[in-house]
Amino acid sequence: MNAFESLGLKHDGRALWVLDQTQLPDAEVWLDGSDPAVMVGLIKRLAVRGAPLIGVAAAASLATFAHRGASASEYAAACAALRAARPTAVNLMWAMDRMKAASTPVTEAQAIFEEDVRLCEGMAIRGAALIQDGEGILTHCNTGGLATAGIGTALGVIRRAHEQGKHIHVYADETRPLLQGGRLTTWELQKLGIPSTLITDSMAALLMRDGKVQRVLVGADRVAANGDFANKVGTYGVAVQARYHGVPFHPVAPFSTVDLACPNGAAIPIELRDATEVRGYGKLRWAPEAMPTWNPSFDVTPVDLVTSLVLDRSVYSASALKAGALAKS
Ligand code: MRU
């Protein structure tokens, strides 16, 4: 395989490595994800995460497995196991369906990686054009280079606006329960030198009331045909707050996140995760051990709360989405 490298994924020609996102920002530890059975575990425990990246990483693991001589039946079983590793981000299913149909898995995985880099550029160009000088921008979860093979979705847009010299200030939601905003988005923002402030999720409404937020940019894990979309839990609440305060709200996603087979948000499968993630974090537990919890990893934001959807190839208003623009594109 040809070597390739992104912020959270790299192939040295022999093995595939993923940056263990559970250890950021304190330690940069690369784990071998060449074996698809290992990659399934890395995806499940969010060592590798973000809708586009899990598709790219799963494809690269499968290609490495094929390159090392996996039989057709071993390849098919690994493909099915990877496809089922997490249920909400459709990029994983999209990438695995491509790998299943591919006659040359190595070439296909490399094409998926390179395509994702280009899709990020498309979103960045279109999204950055919306951003005005001086804006405060709120974002949720992590949607940057750690979540994609390229510069990111929502965070890629923010990065491009910053590189264009626009004076922006980013407010990063910490993103309970697994703190992708607090641990990962902050890490990326500091590396990029983008002026930014970390807030807890419960502070976003107050920040909007105080006039500090002129735009909200978030990613998506699956966009339904009518424009409803699933993203990290908490996104729906941010969208409600943005509407109340008259703040424009934009999901940013590549076409590989659009699922035309889902007519609306109600059809999007939502991952439910372990109670321990709500009762505490890591080794720290603050709730009683047997406390019942509810831990949906994603929520669905209805298209009515969307100002526009930034895709790699176009920007769609909520009214265009409701009129079926995605199906026609
Ligand atoms: O559970 P995660 O960390 O994989 O969730 C990630 C998100 O919800 C992102 O916002 C989404 O994947 C879009 S980012 C490219």
* Interatomic CA distance for residues 99 and 103, integer angstroms: 8
Q: CB count, 10 Å around CB of 210?
A: 10
Indicate if 304 belongs to the active site: no
Closest approach atom of ligand 1 to CA 271: 1
Residue range 161-166: average pLDDT? 98
CA 72 to centroid of ligand 1, rounded, Å: 31
Active-site annotation holder among 20, 116, 173, 221: 221
Q: Which of 21, 216, 221 to mutate to test the pocket of ligand 1 (most atoms within 8 A of CB)?
A: 221
Distance 93 CA to ligand 1 centre (A): 15
Minimal-distance CA residue to ligand 1 atom 14 = 143
300 within 8 A of 266, measured Cβ to Cβ: yes
- Mean pLDDT across the stretch 301-312? 98
Helices 72-83, 51-67: inter-axial angle, 10-degree rounding:
170
What percent of the chain lies above the pLDDT cut of 70? 100
| Closest ligand 1 atom to Cα of 231 | 8
The rounded Å distance from CA 142 to ligand 1 centre is 6
d(CA 120, CA 115): 9
Q: Is the pLDDT of residue 37 over 90?
A: yes
Which ligand 1 atom sits closest to the C-alpha of 148? Answer: 15
Mean per-residue pLDDT over the chain, rounded: 98
User: Using one digit for the tens of pLDDT, what is the confidence trace for 54-107?
Assistant: 999 999 999 999 999 999 999 999 999 999 999 999 999 999 999 999 999 999
pLDDT digits (tens, 9 = 90+) for 137-157: 999 999 999 999 999 999 999
Question: In three state form, how does the secondary structure of the chain look?
Answer: CCCEECCCEEECCCCEEEECCCCCCCCCCEEECCCHHHHHHHHHCCCCCCHHHHHHHHHHHHHHHHHCCCCHHHHHHHHHHHHCCCCCCHHHHHHHHHHHHCCCHHHHHHHHHHHHHHHHHHHHHHHHCCCCCCCEEEECCCCCCCCCCCCCCHHHHHHHHHHCCCCCEEEEECCCCCCHHHHHHHHHHHHHCCCEEEECHHHHHHHHHCCCCCEEEECCCEEECCCCEEEECCHHHHHHHHHHCCCCEEEEECHHHEECCCCCHHHCCCCECCCHHHHEECCEECCCCCCCCCCECEEEECHHHCCEEEECCCEEEHHHHHCCHHHHC
> What's the pLDDT at 329?
80
pLDDT at 227: 98
Instruction: Tell me the CA–centroid distance for residue 144 and ligand 1, in Å.
Output: 9
Give the Å distance between the CA of 275 and the centre of ligand 1: 19
Amino acid at 273: R
Residue 16's nearest CA partner among 51, 52, 67, 50 is: 67
- Whole-Å CA distances, 65 to 16, 39, 93, 169: 10, 11, 18, 43
pLDDT above 90: percentage of residues in the chain: 99
Instruction: Please tell me the predicted confidence (pLDDT) of residue 118.
Output: 98
Which atom of ligand 1 is nearest the CA belonging to 54? 4
- What backbone torsions phi and psi does residue 281 show, to the nearest 5 degrees? -145, 130
All structural domains of the chain: 4-119 (1.20.120.420), 126-328 (3.40.50.10470)
Residue 1 reports pLDDT greater than 90: no
Q: Which of 18, 24, 143, 249 to mutate to test the pocket of ligand 1 (most atoms within 8 A of CB)?
A: 143
What whole-number distance in Å separates Cα of residue 242 and Cα of residue 278?
25
Place of tokens 């990065």: 159
**For 69, left (φ over 0), alpha (ψ -120 to 50), or beta?**
left
Strand 196-199 with 30-32, pairing: unpaired
Q: Which of 18, 231, 310 to mutate to test the pocket of ligand 1 (most atoms within 8 A of CB)?
A: 231
pTM (predicted TM-score):
0.98
Minimal-distance CA residue to ligand 1 atom 8: 232
Q: What is the pLDDT of residue 164?
A: 98
pLDDT in tens, 217-267: 999 999 999 999 999 999 999 999 999 999 999 999 999 999 999 999 999
Using pLDDT thresholds of 50, 70 and 90, give the confidence band for residue 50.
very high
Could you tell me which residues come within 8 angstroms of residue 276 by beta carbon, excluding any fewer than 6 positions away?
285
Task: Give the pLDDT confidence score for residue 129 in this predicted structure.
Answer: 98
Q: Please tell me the distance between residue 73's alpha carbon and the centre of ligand 1 in angstroms.
A: 31
What mean pLDDT comes out for the span 283-302? 98
Residues with CB under 6 A from ligand 1: 46, 49-52, 89, 141, 143, 147-148, 153, 180, 219-221, 231-232, 297
